[in-house]
Amino acid sequence: MSESGDYEEVVRAQLASLDDTDAYASAWADALSAAAAANEKVSWGGRGKGGRGLARRTFQPHDIVVDDVCLEYINDARVTGAGGGGSKQLLDGASLKLLSGHVYSLVGRNGSGKSTLLKRVAAGKIPGFPPHRATMLVSQELFGYDGRNALDVVLESHRTMKETSAKSNAARITELEAQLDALDMESEDDQAKVETICEEISELEEESNENDDNSGEERARDALRFWGIPEDLFSTPTAKLSGGVRKQVELACALFSRPDLLLLDEPTNFLDIRSLLCLRGMIWDFLESNAIVVLVSHDIDLINDVVTDTIHLHELKLSYFPGNYRDYLGYRKQGITHELRQANALERQRTSMVKTIDNLKKKAASSSSKKKIGKTIESRKKKLERHGVEKDEHGHRWTAQKASTGIRPGAINSVDASTRSHLTHKQLLKRAEVDIGPVPDKAVQFDFRDTTSSWGDEPLVMAMDVGYGYDKGLIFDCVELCIRERSRSFILGENGSGKSSLLSILAGQVAPLEGTVHVASGLSIGYFHQHVADDLIATARKVTTSGEQVVTPLSLLTELYPKKNEQDLRGELTSFGLNPKQASTNVRFLSGGERCRLCMAAMMLKDPQLLILDEISNHLDVESVEAIIYGIKKWNGTVIMASHDTNLIRSIGGDCYVLLESEGKLRRVVGGIDAYLKAFR
């Protein structure tokens, strides 16, 4: 089976598993079938139709609002690994709100469900989601398209999107005609509205009837040219293209097809600096055309530049914040500060109430009215159990009417009865304090164990007159590079300039066509190539020799390192942020970031003194990129890295070199990454 076939099989299994746990999935499928058979709008909501609102219409001409979104994987060995491993819930009763003319950044930890949500939306599997909206997903995984060339892929994608757009236009025309019927054609006050609606109907009909067979191919070529793809690659099978060019082809599909809703899952993966600038331009273009863009990315500079709103996927819910990632961090800090103040105020109030109860108990011991004081003590205890936060997250005073419950957040009564019965009064107070305080996120870590290398002034790697190329000739030659112990070196350059080829030569994976590479005696090298996380999907089946059908991170490492005991392997996985449950999950169903962590754990088990990292930040979330920056800066080994993540390069610091495609030479960049960026302004 091909890589793309493996990936499609994984997506189908994921969607099927999510269908099994969504109580409305079958009703939604029936509603879609009935609407298609009757050639009518989808009717959704009310009794027997999902119960998500009375007479709710799924046709939303501009904005998208879907309530009660649930995502959960069932306890299935295909997903959770050998022995089940338990179900995995990603969203529970969340609200999905997407407004036209907005660019959303979807943030959350690796494995929290960001990519799964985008796949679910793109597949039209979320009950209540407007089916007429033309939606396109640019996924983070890269595969070839079964021998099809770049031009064919763009044209086929456009044909598929045009069919969906035709349905969207028809639904919009029907809605506009209904608005037109409600207006008074003879009234002067309504004339302006009538003209506007008629113009929009005319534009939609013209767009639906447009036959672009003659101009479509040329427009598709223009889309490919926009991304800087050379003309001679238009007819090249996508499987033979580099990762950067494949990503550009997928983005060209989006640029040409112009969907109403564009879902971008790590679109910066494999792109060079010039392409990143083009990506910004495309997103701004979509914003001006009143489309909706949802972006998942680890590139802080990008999301701060283009995003209008931020969605945080956390604790099974979707929270919305206005502004970019920088603004989101400010709001999050304010929210955490508010929660800490609430917890502190609640603790002071409880301490005072407990002190009052203790004083009453002392008074009762020497008083003749013990019965009366005893009733007072019981009353105060009940008040203490009911006592919780005074204000909600918006600063409004808490009331039972607004909250629709008599139990306040942080109150002892908020602890479920079965748990409460096994705890003492002091333990209940402590438990309530934990419940009201901000819940810390799972630790994001990349723990690179220190190395014992000591080569001193001797170069670890020395490349002398190195050249490499393919059938069409050398892509670079006469490359000179000297890497010394504990240095940090970055290889920059445009897609196709040979960065990955140079790194594979330095790692000893590929022999140079010209020149030599000298490696210090006894040097252990850890090599992370840019497609290693994606390759796990295809290779997970055939890694084990025992005939095991499900490959988990733990079984994979056991196969690769048979002399290591299970405790050491689990410890290494934990050092790279994979918990025991993730360690027993089917590798093929891990998120991209989780697979990346697994590959790094496998690499570090070799105890390398030199790390050669090719696009290490691909698939990682923003906080994980910050963690890997911290881990690499703290590590005492040597690092050679190719990356287009300017924030990562700037934060780690080190020597920057650029492979110039026009010259085929490696040049040192004086002034670092910021000096290199000035060349594109």
Give tens-digit pLDDT for 430-470: 555 544 444 444 456 788 888 887 777 788 999 999 999 87
Asked whether residue 268 carries a pLDDT value surpassing 60, the answer given is yes
Which pLDDT band, with edges at 50, 70 and 90, does 547 fall under?
Answer: low
pLDDT tens digits, one per residue of 239-254: 778 778 888 999 999 9
pLDDT on residue 543: 47
d(CA 176, CA 182): 10
The answer to whether position 668 is within a domain reads yes
Catalogue the E-assigned strands of 6-138: 64-73, 88-98, 102-107, 135-138
Q: Are 397 and 403 in contact (CB under 8 A)?
A: no
Q: Which carries the bigger pLDDT value, residue 599 or residue 77?
A: 599
The answer to whether position 213 is within a domain reads yes
Tokens 């003194």 correspond to: 609
Q: Are residues 427 and 279 in the same domain?
A: no
Nearest to 677 by CA among 654, 651, 634, 645: 645
The answer to whether position 368 is within a domain reads yes
pLDDT on residue 53: 41
Q: Which carries the bigger pLDDT value, residue 175 or residue 679?
A: 679
The answer to whether position 78 is within a domain reads yes
Which pLDDT band, with edges at 50, 70 and 90, does 87 fall under?
Answer: low
Q: Are 515 and 465 in contact (CB under 8 A)?
A: yes
Q: Which carries the bigger pLDDT value, residue 495 or residue 467?
A: 467
Using the 3D structure, point to which of 297, 323, 349 is the last residue of a domain: 323
Q: Which carries the bigger pLDDT value, residue 479 or residue 551?
A: 479
Which tokens belong to 216? Answer: 């479509």
- pLDDT mean over 517-528: 92
Asked whether residue 640 carries a pLDDT value surpassing 80, the answer given is yes
Q: Are residues 240 and 354 in the same domain?
A: no
Q: Are 434 and 409 in contact (CB under 8 A)?
A: no
Asked whether residue 613 carries a pLDDT value surpassing 50, the answer given is yes
Phi, psi dihedral angles at 216 (to 5 degrees)? -60, -45
Three-state secondary-structure class, residue 117: helix
Cα end-to-end distance, the chain, whole Å: 44
What percentage of the chain exceeds 90 in pLDDT? 22
Q: Are residues 174 and 319 in the same domain?
A: yes
In whole angstroms, how large is the CA radius of gyration of the chain? 29
Domain count, the chain: 4
Nearest to 544 by CA among 562, 528, 520, 523: 562
Tokens 């058979």 correspond to: 37
Within 10 angstroms of residue 575's Cβ, the number of other Cβ atoms is 18
pLDDT on residue 392: 58
pLDDT tens digits, one per residue of 667-680: 999 988 888 888 87
Q: Are 591 and 621 in contact (CB under 8 A)?
A: no
Asked whether residue 211 carries a pLDDT value surpassing 70, the answer given is no
Q: How far apart, in Å, are the Cα atoms of 544 and each of 77, 286, 569, 589?
A: 17, 46, 16, 17
66 - beta bridge partners?
96
pLDDT tens digits, one per residue of 340-376: 667 667 777 777 888 888 888 888 877 777 778 888 8
d(CA 181, CA 169): 18
Which pLDDT band, with edges at 50, 70 and 90, does 579 fall under?
Answer: confident
**pTM score of the predicted model:** 0.72
Tell me how many degrees the CA angle 283-265-17 measures, rounded to the nearest 5: 140
* Average pLDDT of the chain, as a whole number: 79
Pairing of strands 461-470, 317-322: unpaired
Half-sphere exposure (Cβ direction) of 437: Cα atoms closer than 13 Å: 11
pLDDT on residue 145: 61
Using the 3D structure, point to which of 323, 345, 363 is the last residue of a domain: 323
d(CA 197, CA 121): 30
Q: Are residues 206 and 236 in the same domain?
A: yes
Q: Are residues 29 and 115 in the same domain?
A: yes
Q: Are residues 346 and 265 in the same domain?
A: no
Helix (H) or strand (E) holding 461: strand 461-470
- pLDDT mean over 368-390: 75
Tell me how many degrees the CA angle 463-506-560 measures, rounded to the nearest 5: 155
Which pLDDT band, with edges at 50, 70 and 90, does 41 fall under?
Answer: low
Here the contacts of 273-276 (C-beta below 8 Å, separation 24 or greater) are 273/492, 273/494, 273/644, 273/646, 273/676, 273/677, 273/680, 274/228, 274/494, 274/680, 275/227, 275/228, 275/244, 275/247, 275/248, 275/495, 276/302, 276/644
Q: Are residues 315 and 348 in the same domain?
A: no
Q: Are residues 93 and 230 in the same domain?
A: no
Which region among 37-51, 127-141, 376-390 has the lowest average model confidence (pLDDT)? 37-51
Asked whether residue 420 carries a pLDDT value surpassing 80, the answer given is no
pLDDT on residue 48: 44
pLDDT tens digits, one per residue of 105-160: 999 888 888 988 999 998 888 888 887 788 999 988 766 666 788 888 888 888 88
Which region among 86-90, 490-494, 511-515, 545-549 has the lowest average model confidence (pLDDT)? 545-549
The answer to whether position 34 is within a domain reads yes
Catalogue the E-assigned strands of 471-576: 473-483, 488-492, 514-519, 525-528
516 - beta bridge partners?
464
Which tokens belong to 454? Answer: 């000591």
d(CA 583, CA 230): 43
Q: Which carries the bigger pLDDT value, residue 453 or residue 261?
A: 261
Classify the C-alpha dihedral 503-506-510-511 as positive or negative: positive
Classify the C-alpha dihedral 57-58-59-63 as positive or negative: positive
pLDDT on residue 338: 62
How would you classify residue 481: left for phi > 0, otherwise alpha for psi between -120 and 50, otherwise beta? beta
- pLDDT mean over 517-541: 79
When mean pLDDT is compared over 18-22, 174-178, 490-494, the highest value belongs to 490-494
The answer to whether position 28 is within a domain reads yes
- pLDDT mean over 582-611: 87
Query: Which are the contacts of 308, defined by CB distance < 8 A and separation ≥ 6?
Result: 102, 103, 104, 287, 322, 323, 324
pLDDT on residue 43: 63
Q: How far apart, in Å, are the Cα atoms of 627 and each of 310, 311, 553, 580, 606?
A: 21, 21, 21, 20, 21
Q: Are residues 286 and 343 in the same domain?
A: no
The answer to whether position 269 is within a domain reads yes
Q: Are residues 362 and 313 in the same domain?
A: no
Q: Are 204 and 186 in contact (CB under 8 A)?
A: no
Classify the C-alpha dihedral 225-613-550-122 as positive or negative: negative
- pLDDT mean over 283-303: 91
Which region among 74-83, 113-122, 554-563 has the lowest average model confidence (pLDDT)? 74-83
What percentage of the chain exceeds 70 in pLDDT? 74
pLDDT tens digits, one per residue of 304-332: 999 999 999 988 899 999 999 888 888 87
| CATH number of residue 600's parent domain | 3.40.50.300
Which pLDDT band, with edges at 50, 70 and 90, does 490 fall under?
Answer: very high
Which tokens belong to 478? Answer: 């006469």
Range of the domain at 412: 329-436
pLDDT on residue 38: 65
- pLDDT mean over 553-558: 88
Which pLDDT band, with edges at 50, 70 and 90, does 286 fall under?
Answer: very high
Q: Are 383 and 360 in contact (CB under 8 A)?
A: no
Q: Are residues 502 and 406 in the same domain?
A: no
| Exposure letters 181-218 (e unless 16+ CB within 10 A, then b) | eeeeeeeeeeeeeeeebeeebeebeeebeeeeeeebee
pLDDT on residue 467: 93
- pLDDT mean over 527-556: 68
Identify residue 517 by its one-letter amino acid code.
V
Three-state secondary-structure class, residue 476: strand
pLDDT on residue 446: 84
Q: Is 541 exposed, middle or buried (0-12, 13-18, 19+ CB in 10 A)?
A: middle
Which pLDDT band, with edges at 50, 70 and 90, does 495 fall under?
Answer: confident
d(CA 233, CA 210): 29
pLDDT on residue 214: 54
Asked whether residue 44 carries a pLDDT value surpassing 70, the answer given is no
Which pLDDT band, with edges at 50, 70 and 90, does 585 fall under?
Answer: confident
Nearest to 339 by CA among 380, 388, 385: 388
- pLDDT mean over 419-433: 57
pLDDT on residue 639: 95
When mean pLDDT is compared over 19-28, 232-241, 374-383, 611-620, the highest value belongs to 611-620
pLDDT on residue 391: 60
d(CA 255, CA 566): 49
Q: Are 495 and 662 in contact (CB under 8 A)?
A: no
pLDDT on residue 450: 87
Query: Which are the contacts of 28, defined by CB distance < 8 A and separation ≥ 6?
Result: 44, 50, 125, 127, 128
Which tokens belong to 261? Answer: 């809703």
pLDDT on residue 306: 93
pLDDT on residue 332: 78
Q: Are residues 299 and 173 in the same domain?
A: yes
- How many residues are present in the chain? 681
Concatenating the DSSP letter of every residue in 603-668 gives HHTT--SEEEEESTTTT--HHHHHHHHHHHHH--SEEEEE---HHHHHHH--EEEEEETTTTEEEE
Q: How far apart, in Å, are the Cα atoms of 293 and each of 150, 224, 436, 646?
A: 24, 20, 35, 23
Using the 3D structure, point to which of 296, 323, 350 is the last residue of a domain: 323
pLDDT on residue 273: 86
Q: Which carries the bigger pLDDT value, residue 389 or residue 522?
A: 522
The answer to whether position 166 is within a domain reads yes
pLDDT on residue 473: 80
Asked whether residue 489 carries a pLDDT value surpassing 90, the answer given is yes
- Edge-to-edge strand ranges of the sheet holding 638-642: 525-528, 610-614, 638-642, 488-492, 655-660, 665-668
Q: How far apart, in Å, are the Cα atoms of 607 and each of 522, 524, 543, 566, 637?
A: 12, 7, 22, 17, 10
- pLDDT mean over 486-513: 91
Asked whether residue 393 carries a pLDDT value surpassing 60, the answer given is no
DSSP category for residue 415: S
